[in-house]
Amino acid sequence: MAKTKLKVGVVGGTGYTGVELLRLLARHPEVELHAVTSREQAGRPVADLFQNLRGCVELKFTPPEPATLAECDAVFFASPNGTAMTMARELLDAGVRVIDLAADFRLKDPEEWRHWYRMEHACPELLAEAVYGLPEINRAALRGARLVANPGCYPTAVQLGFMPLLEAGLIDRGRLIADAKSGVSGAGRKAEVGMLYAEAAENFKAYGVAGHRHWPEIRQGLAAMNPMNSAIGLTFVPHLVPMIRGIHATLYAELLAEHDVDLQSLYEKRYAQEPFVDVMPAGSLPETRSVKGANLCRIALYRPLGQRIVVILSVIDNLVKGAAGQALQNFNIMHGFEEGLGLDEIALLP
């Protein structure tokens, strides 16, 4: 008798994160796509909207009906902020596991959520249960989890870059700087003047300098890595660059005076058993195109002129390791599958 596959639903299947998730799920050997939802596109074949899925996804979009989603073993929310929290309790009560790719369950403090996302949290009682889905630090908690908060794209690149230094207590935790650049797909699949070709091409700009929603998420994650239990001081400045995919985070930290360690060895040992973090040889300069389409974070580090400032370069594909790929990685861990199942894509070049 053939082994039964897990029924999976995707809420919000019309955005860039949604179609990336469908691309990965369609090839997962343990998954049967059961529902892909969209109110606007309901009744339309998924492959009509996304031709890359022709022959791979035969479903039509359906409205996000709780009864249909409750038939699933797991539901991914690739939907706008504020959607998953209105449906999570009902799905969990029905025995469905939930992975939210938006921000509904990332912040543990409902007041902080309200401040940054300008809405009341619909189910604050679930925040304590939600597991933050950065496998490199929360793998044990992800095993058997019912509710997972998939990290944001910037937070993934930044946290993986700083993690070994923070865990070892080697840096001044009050003076961290993250200077990060993202391609335009990070803003989502929507009509917006700033995302028009004539606006974004041949241009480079910062945004969210006064305060970005990913700042509290990054700060919360870094604090959890901090053995000294002292406050995290973080300056985070995101930028928009004229490319479609990719995040490049250039991170700065100051070594404490009493520490003089082999940083290359520190990073190599910390990530030696991590299948989706690649610590590159000393002197490397990781490129965003080296991770395009792959569930990888590539990291290189420098100590310019032997000074106390450490520079970490961290690159990911914002739609894969920064979103859909990491969500599938979490799904695999939650269900006891091999962690890289369905995630063996090699990056695309050029």
Query: Annotated catalytic sites, by residue?
Result: 153
- Residue whose C-alpha is closest to residue 85's, from 103, 72, 69, 70: 103
Alpha-carbon distance of 247 to 250, in angstroms, equals: 10
Q: Interior CA angle at 29 toward 37 and 142, to 5°? A: 75
- The distance of Cα 229 from the centroid of its chain, to the nearest Å, equals 25
User: Which amino acid is it at 222?
Assistant: L
Q: How many CB atoms lie within 10 A of CB 201?
A: 10
Q: Are 219 and 234 in contact (CB under 8 A)?
A: yes
List the strands of the sheet with 176-182, edge to edge: 205-206, 234-240, 176-182, 247-254, 309-316, 297-302, 277-279
For 5-50, give the secondary structure using H, E and C.
Answer: CEEEEEECCCCHHHHHHHHHHCCCCCEEEEEEECCCCCCCEHHHHC
Measure Cα distances from 338 to 22, 86, 275, 329, 333 in Å: 19, 31, 11, 9, 7
Alpha-carbon distance of 91 to 229, in angstroms, equals: 36
For helices 16-25 and 325-334, angle between their N-to-C axes, nearest 10 degrees: 50
Cα atoms in the Cβ-side hemisphere of radius 13 Å centred on 252: 13
The secondary structure of residue 60, as a DSSP letter, is: B
